[in-house]
Structure 1
Amino acid sequence: MTSAVLSEGAGNAPSSFILTLSCDDRPGIVHAVSGALVAAECNITESQQYGSPDTGTFFMRVAMTTSSPQAAVTAHLSPVAEAFGMTWNLHVAGTPARTLIMASKSAHCLNDLLFQQRAGMLPIEVPVIVSNHTELADLAAFYGVPFHHVPVTADGKATAESKLLELVAQYEIELVVLARYMQVLSDSLCSQLVGRAINIHHSFLPSFKGARPYHQAHARGVKLIGATAHYVTPALDEGPIIEQEVIRVDHARTAPQLVAMGADVESRTLAQAVKWHAEHRVLLDGTRTVVFN
């Protein structure tokens, strides 16, 4: 069982925190947590909870303000967490998640994330961009973000992934986003990034695999296109889903139009998933997610 204390509140100035937790579902959890927060002089501003009937696990997210330092809030919560066998974290609210973005040649998802971050619409900071190609270097330069070209070859995949992990450590990365990064990560790397790497792909899978999926879909006359954002796992494109979106199309749409519409929905879906993750609204429930949106 774990608890994460990220930083101290500044003196007696009011601070905002977010508590996330999971444990075996049983009576008294909400009462005990609320009591501990009251004892720590916290004002609860938002509270959401869910009991999974499939796994018997209870999930909770609580936002609060308090003049107490984070250490004091943690001290009040720790006995409750121990009594209920909780896995829990206490986060400083509003702290941007340090995010490494990976992309290959397609710019739409990367550009949307960087634009929303700069506009203050995404609670992330992006200290580095990694690509296995050089086409997106100018876009990174436009936003003033360091760009690292890490080529991936058949014989050099392990070296490339080792370099990626070095960058994750160097930049103290909390979240890795695969923004149309067209390389399959090794099982080992996926395991090391479990719960903190998000991928985006079109929603046609498993029907239209490989190259030019929108053209394949157009040839088959699909009526729905969309995107899926999920956590990265060793099972390719089968990780716990965070967000999905679909839009209707008809016979009059051309293949290039489907590509453009698909890029738009992919960008929106990925940005939403990143936002929810950065706001600590996503909790893992085995192969599923609980999203307190």
Structure 2
Amino acid sequence: MSEREYVLTLACPDSRGIVAAVANLLADHGCNITESQQYGDHFTGRFFLRMQFVAESGTSGAVDEDVLRGAFASLAGDFGSGPGDSFVEWDLQARDVRPRMIVMVSKFGHCLNDLLYRQRSGLLDIDIAAVVSNHPDLEFLADSYGVDFHHLPITPQTKREQEGRILELVDSYDVDLVVLARYMQVLSEQLCTKMSGRIINIHHSFLPSFKGARPYHQAHSRGVKLIGATAHYVTADLDEGPIIEQEVSRVGHTHSPEQLTAIGRDLESVALARAVNWHAQRRVLLNGEKTVIFD
């Protein structure tokens, strides 16, 4: 007899008995819960659940995954009549099936290098299927890790064609997630909508927020005391998607613009890697314009 571990996520209107109903269904199908987290949002009336459980497999008495999915689908239908939004969303995935991602980058390679290293070291629960860039500069880095590199240059006239090629790569590599690891192009509303909840971006974040070129030099000239980075899902509203993770560091008047840049790049790498890993482990659930993180 062998076992297989699964992750179940659920978002639905909040009501009594949801955890008990899910736990009873798992018990009825011979499953054992190994981890459970839940959160009821008082402000939105939404309920969020993440459960890891072990199911027997490989014997005549094994849990049939299709049967289990059918049972969850039937149960989830009962959760749609609660208060607030009746929308119910659930997902069931085996933990040994690793998600796949494409990393998009321009000329700054610190986040890409960090993700590639973490994957090779076994620190990311996701596989990097390919690297895509609008510049050829970082092909050597992808090659050094044995990852496919695709140079897709872009101009205002070729933007639609280039994004069409990106979607082709998503399909051909069977990708679950696209990560913008300092990809310095604005994605179209059409691409953002098509890949909703499946694109993560990283950017610097300061108070005040410095936009445009050389943000760390702008921060230095204004004497900021905190610099940081924000990882978030991409939406059509530039840099305003649901936030997954943020990192900050105190700085002072003795730091040069170059030192701020170095600190900022470290913060960007850490925040992005954590956000990607949480997404891969299905620990991030969308809650309107924000997220629920079961870390």
The TM-score range, normalised by the shorter chain, is over 0.9
Any conservation in 2 of the 1:39–1:76 contact (CA below 8 Å)? no
CA displacement 1:145-189 (0-9 Å, x = unmatched):
110000010111011101101101111110000000000000000
Match of 2:275 in 1: 273
Letter matched to residue 37 of structure 2: Q
CA distance in 2, matches of 1:48, 1:278: 17
Letter matched to residue 216 of structure 1: Q
1:146 aligns with 2:148: yes
1:19 aligns with 2:8: yes
User: Aligned to 2:91, which of 72, 81, 89?
Assistant: 89
User: Aligned to 2:107, which of 87, 100, 105?
Assistant: 105
CA distance in 2, matches of 1:13, 1:263: 44
Q: Identity, % of aligned pairs?
A: 55
Aligned ranges 1:115-264 → 2 under 5 Å: 115-204=117-206, 207-264=209-266
In structure 1, stretches of 5+ residues that fail to align are 1-11
Letter matched to residue 143 of structure 2: A
Any conservation in 1 of the 2:14–2:40 contact (CA below 8 Å)? yes
Against the structure 1 CA distance between its residues 189 and 169, is the aligned structure 2 distance closer, same or farther, given a 3 Å change threshold? Answer: same
How many pairs does the alignment contain? 282
Any conservation in 2 of the 1:140–1:147 contact (CA below 8 Å)? yes
Match of 2:116 in 1: 114
TM-score when normalising by structure 2: 0.94
CA distance in 2, matches of 1:190, 1:218: 33
Question: CA offset at residue 65 of structure 1?
Answer: 0.5
Letter matched to residue 285 of structure 2: L
Match of 2:70 in 1: 75
Match of 1:62 in 2: 51
User: Aligned to 2:30, which of 30, 36, 41?
Assistant: 41
TM-score when normalising by structure 1: 0.94
CA distance in 2, matches of 1:142, 1:206: 38
Letter matched to residue 12 of structure 2: C
Letter matched to residue 90 of structure 2: W
Question: CA offset at residue 204 of structure 1?
Answer: 2.1
Any conservation in 2 of the 1:95–1:123 contact (CA below 8 Å)? no
CA distance in 2, matches of 1:137, 1:62: 39
Any conservation in 1 of the 2:216–2:257 contact (CA below 8 Å)? yes
1:284 aligns with 2:286: yes
**Greater CA deviation, 200-209 or 107-116?**
200-209
Match of 2:83 in 1: none
Question: CA offset at residue 206 of structure 1?
Answer: 6.0
1:28 aligns with 2:17: yes
Q: In angstroms, what is the RMSD of aligned CA positions? A: 1.1
